[in-house]
C-alpha cells in the first residue's frame, strides 16, 4: 500500500527528546563555511560521546526537510544541516541556475526545527582547485534517473554525500524517501565502502492534495501546480489495483498512466522495481517500488510509493503492524 505520509504542517512543531519530553526549538544556528570550522565545532560533542545527526540538503528548505531535522533532533544530541547546491549532480546548467537559494531563510527554519549548526560551504570549499576524485556507484545508478539525467548525476550525488559524511562524521544521516533512488545509491555507497554511519530514511511529506513537497514546486505555474497532482494520483491508482488483487506490473502501470493522463501529464518514466536493486519486477509477489518522473513545463518532478500485493495488505491488517514514519 501507499506508505503513511506526513502532511504539510507549520514547520514549527517542537522536537521531542529520546525520553519523549519536549525540547525547545533552537532559536538560532551557527553558520559555518569551512571544513575545519565544522569539525572544530563538533569536536566537543564528539569527545563527550554525544550523538551527531546530519541532514544534507541543497537549501530552499520546506516542511519535508524540516521533518528530517526534527527527527534528527529527536534522536541525536547535535544536529548539523548542510546547505550546498551541488553543481556536479546537475545535468542542465539552466536547472542549476534556477535552483532557489535563500540562506537566511534556511538558517531560520533549520534553527526552528532543532538544528544547532548550518554548514554552508562555497563550491571551492567542497571542490578545491585541482579536485579530480569522484565516486561511482554501479548498477543501481544506471536506470531511471541515471538513464534520464546521465551517468554523471549519481556520480555527483555519491561524491558530495561521501564528502559530507567524511567532513561531519555523523552517527546518523537523514534522507527523504521522495528521492528513492538516491537513498538506494547512498545505502549501497555506505555498505560497499564500510562507512561507519547509519542511514535513516524518512517518509515523503506531501501537500493536502498529495503532491510531494519539493523545492522545485515553487517553479510551477498555477495551472501546472494543479496538474502536478497527477504523479500522486498515478501512484494511488496503481496501489488501488494491487489492493484489488492485480499483480501484473503492466496492468498496474497502465492504471497509473491512465490516472496521470486525466491531468494531461505523460510520465518521463514509470516503473515498478525491486526496492533494493531497482530491477524491474516481473510480478508483484512482494513489495515493490513504483517510481515516476514527469515534466510540467520547465519543471521536472519525481515521486514514488511502495506498492504491496493484496495478500501482504491482508497480513498487515491482521497483525495491526504499521509503517514507521522514519526507518533506518
**How much is the pLDDT for 328?**
60
Residue 20 predicted with pLDDT over 80:
no
Residues 100 and 29 in one domain: yes
Q: Helix 230-243 vs helix 310-319: angle between axes, to the nearest 10 degrees?
A: 80
Provide the CATH number for the domain around residue 265: 3.30.1300.10
Last residue of a domain, one of 206, 228, 257: 206
**Same domain membership, residue 193 and residue 302:** no
Active site residue 65: yes
CB 55 within 8 A of CB 29: no
Q: Are residues 174 and 309 in the same domain?
A: no
Residues 157, 288 within the same domain: no
Asked whether residue 5 is domain-assigned, the answer is: no
**Contact yes or no for 115/55 (Cβ under 8 A):** yes
Determine the structural domain holding residue 100 and report its residue range.
Answer: 16-206
Query: Are residues 256 and 120 both part of a single domain?
Result: no
Domain boundary among 206, 238, 269: 206
Residues 80 and 174 both lie in one domain: yes
Whether pTM > 0.85 for this model: the answer is yes
* DSSP secondary structure letter of residue 111: H
Per-residue pLDDT of 23-68, as tens digits, reads: 344 458 999 999 999 999 999 999 999 999 999 999 999 999 999 9
Q: What is the CATH number of the domain that holds 112?
A: 3.40.50.620
The catalytic residue among 7, 62, 65, 232 is: 65
Same domain, 247 and 111: no
pLDDT band at 113 (very low <50, low <70, confident <90, very high): very high
20 and 147 share one domain: yes
Number of domains in the chain: 2
How far, in Å, CA of 263 to CA of 226, rounded?
Answer: 8
Amino acid at each position: 500500500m501507499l506508505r503513511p505520509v506526513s502532511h504539510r504542517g507549520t514547520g514549527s512543531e517542537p522536537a521531542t527528546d529520546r525520553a519523549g519530553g519536549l525540547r525547545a526549538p533552537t532559536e538560532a544556528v551557527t553558520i559555518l563555511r569551512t571544513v575545519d570550522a565544522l569539525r572544530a565545532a563538533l569536536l566537543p560533542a564528539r569527545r563527550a560521546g554525544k550523538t551527531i545527526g546530519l541532514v544534507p540538503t541543497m537549501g530552499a528548505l520546506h516542511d519535508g526537510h524540516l521533518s528530517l531535522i526534527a527527527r534528527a533532533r529527536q534522536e541525536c544530541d547535535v544536529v548539523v544541516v548542510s546547505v550546498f547546491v551541488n553543481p556536479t549532480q546537475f545535468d542542465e546548467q539552466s536547472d542549476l541556475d534556477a535552483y532557489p537559494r535563500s540562506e537566511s531563510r534556511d538558517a531560520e527554519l533549520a534553527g526552528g526545527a532543532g538544528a544547532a549548526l548550518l554548514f554552508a560551504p562555497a563550491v571551492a570549499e567542497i571542490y578545491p582547485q585541482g579536485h579530480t576524485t569522484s565516486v561511482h556507484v554501479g548498477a543501481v545508478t544506471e536506470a531511471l534517473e541515471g538513464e534520464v539525467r546521465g551517468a554523471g548525476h549519481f556520480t555527483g550525488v555519491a561524491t558530495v554525500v561521501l564528502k559530507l559524511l567524511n567532513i561531519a562524521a555523523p552517527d546518523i544521516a537523514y534522507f527523504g524517501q521522495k528521492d528513492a533512488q538516491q537513498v538506494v545509491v547512498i545505502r549501497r555507497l555506505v555498505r560497499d565502502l564500510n562507512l561507519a554511519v547509519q542511514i535513516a530514511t524518512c517518509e515523503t511529506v506531501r501537500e493536502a492534495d498529495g503532491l510531494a513537497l519539493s523545492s522545485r514546486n515553487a517553479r510551477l505555474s498555477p495551472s501546472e501546480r494543479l496538474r502536478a497532482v497527477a504523479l500522486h494520483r498515478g501512484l494511488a491508482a496503481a496501489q488501488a489495483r494491487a489492493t484489488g488483487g492485480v499483480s501484473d506490473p503492466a496492468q498496474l502501470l497502465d492504471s497509473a498512466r491512465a490516472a496521470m493522463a486525466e491531468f494531461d501529464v505523460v510520465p518521463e518514466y514509470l516503473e515498478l522495481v525491486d526496492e533494493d536493486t531497482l530491477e524491474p519486477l516481473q510480478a508483484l509477489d512482494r513489495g515493490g517500488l513504483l517510481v515516476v518522473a514527469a515534466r510540467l513545463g520547465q519543471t521536472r518532478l519525481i515521486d514514488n510509493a511502495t506498492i504491496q500485493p493484496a495478500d501482504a495488505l491482508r497480513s498487515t491488517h491482521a497483525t495491526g503492524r504499521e509503517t514507521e514514519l522514519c526507518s533506518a
